[in-house]
Amino acid sequence: MQTQIQEYIPNSAVSQVLKLLEHDNLVVKIKKERKTRHGDYMRLPNGKHQITVNANLNTYRFLITLIHEIAHFEAYKTYGRFIKPHGIEWKRTFQHLMLPFINPNIFPNDLLPLLAKHFKNPKASSDTDTDLTLALKQFDEPNGKTYIFDVPLGHSFKLYNGKVFLKGKKRVKRFECLEVKTGKLYLFNPNAEVELLENNHEQ
């Protein structure tokens, strides 16, 4: 497991991460991409604890996700099983674990102020932090996708599951988008990645 982890995180973070993973009853697994999550944590029936992280994440996103999930494990050990998954106990644990990593030896300088701001009050998903998410995505491999905020008003786009939408107006933070097939209205984060369709009638 240790050798595998080293391939996915910044070299300068390896020794600190391996110290956090020095638990006999903690297992980390690298998974293929899951569209709905970057990683997860669960307590197994045999009493062990399992963390999974998506293999397709860039090194900085992988590190943040891994520490996020380790924080669930540490919060469980410290506070017990009845805490809220992303409540104050988890937030404090995540902040404490992440702080040593927020330095220029590990993250690029342009990410540091965004990370500092995010970890004043970390959310259940860093994807809700638009500025940080966009900054992290610049380190992803090119995938030919377009951000919702770059889709022209009234233009059609497709999700990974094949559903086609029309881009609508912006509310406070998110965009109203109409699903073509059902006529239902959905709200999209501006940094969601979609496939822009050349033909507005394509379905």
Extents of the domains making up the chain: 2-137, 146-196
CATH code of 146-196, in short, is: 2.30.30.30
Q: At residue 81, what are phi and psi to the nearest 5 degrees?
A: -85, -10
Kindly tell me if the per-residue pLDDT of 2 is higher than 70. Answer: no
Q: At residue 165, what are phi and psi to the nearest 5 degrees?
A: -130, 160
Pairing state of beta strands 26-31 and 49-54?
parallel
pLDDT at 3: 55
Chain segment 77-133, per-residue pLDDT in tens = 999 989 999 999 999 999 999 999 999 999 999 999 999 999 999 999 888 898 999
The tokens 């086609």 sit on which residue?
164
The model's pTM is 0.81
Secondary structure of residue 180 in the 3-state scheme: coil
